[in-house]
């Protein structure tokens, strides 16, 4: 089965822009509904596809956090070239980590939303996600049980090479939170693992933003943009971005 890579999304509008970042193993589809909502309310929207995502496990395994960060930079610079001076950023999970990094690294970011942000993830935890994604993908494309078992054993023997860099990225961002001064909203799902609530509280307490907010969405799991509370989530994000602009 041939898998078509999801395209990056760009929606033109007005004089304000927002970058939306999907999760690890996710795609632009996870952020598109939020993007269309924000676009209908006056925002230009850029949703990059992070390197290696959307094409199955092998391209993902060959990708790295430095490439994902470059995707963020490319999206930011594209919006700057188009004349947008007011740029916000929002992301889920890995996208939330990258949004936080942008908030303290990129001078032109004037507001950020971080959802379902991991903290304290080690290589074993992240590799379990890769293994699960690989198994689900191979089942989806109709591979045999024997092929799947062999591939999963390979991943257990030889994990994704860039996992140490991924772990370091998470640690770097959490240790750099004091450098964030732009308006920031932190969000987590009430049905997600407890560590995401702990992470949200850590972020909220460590940032130096005067305008900051933290909120739980009780009927939502990890992928917040697809959760049962998404209508409220989308409105809250819009209200926050409007206040930051």
Helices (H), the chain: 29-40, 57-62, 65-81, 94-105, 123-140, 145-157, 163-175, 194-206, 230-244
User: How far apart (Å, rounded) are the C-alpha atoms in residues 110 and 244?
Assistant: 7
User: Which active-site residues does the annotation give?
Assistant: 93, 192, 222
Q: Give pairs for 190-198: CB < 8 Å, separation 24+.
A: 190/216, 190/217, 190/218, 190/219, 190/220, 191/218, 191/219, 191/220, 191/221, 191/227, 192/116, 192/220, 192/221, 192/222, 193/222, 195/118, 195/119, 195/120, 196/116, 196/117, 196/118, 196/119, 196/222, 198/119
CB atoms within 10 A of CB 15: 12
Q: What is the DSSP letter of 226?
A: G
């Amino acid at each position: 089965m041939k898998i078509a890579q999801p395209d990056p999304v760009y929606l033109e509008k007005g004089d304000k822009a927002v970058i939306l970042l999907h999760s690890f193993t996710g795609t632009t589809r996870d952020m598109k509904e939020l993007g269309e909502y924000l676009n209908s309310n006056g925002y230009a929207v850029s949703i990059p596809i992070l390197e290696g995502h959307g094409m199955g496990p092998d391209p993902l395994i060959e990708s790295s956090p430095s490439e994902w960060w470059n995707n963020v930079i490319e999206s930011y610079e594209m919006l700057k070239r188009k004349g947008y001076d007011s740029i916000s950023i929002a992301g889920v999970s890995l996208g939330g980590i990258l949004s936080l990094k942008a908030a303290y690294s990129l001078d032109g970011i004037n507001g950020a939303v971080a959802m379902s942000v991991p903290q304290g993830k080690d290589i074993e935890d992240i590799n379990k996600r890769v293994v699960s994604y690989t198994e689900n993908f191979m089942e989806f494309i109709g591979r045999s049980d024997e092929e799947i078992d062999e591939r999963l054993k390979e991943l257990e023997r030889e994990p994704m090479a860039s996992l140490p860099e991924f772990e370091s990225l998470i640690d770097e961002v959490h240790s750099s939170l004091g450098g964030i001064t732009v308006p920031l909203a932190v969000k987590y799902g009430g049905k997600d693992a407890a560590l995401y609530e702990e992470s949200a509280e850590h972020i909220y307490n460590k940032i130096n933003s005067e305008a900051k907010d933290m909120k739980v969405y009780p009927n939502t799991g990890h992928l917040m943009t697809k959760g049962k509370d998404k209508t409220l989530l989308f409105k809250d994000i819009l209200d926050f971005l409007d206040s930051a602009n």
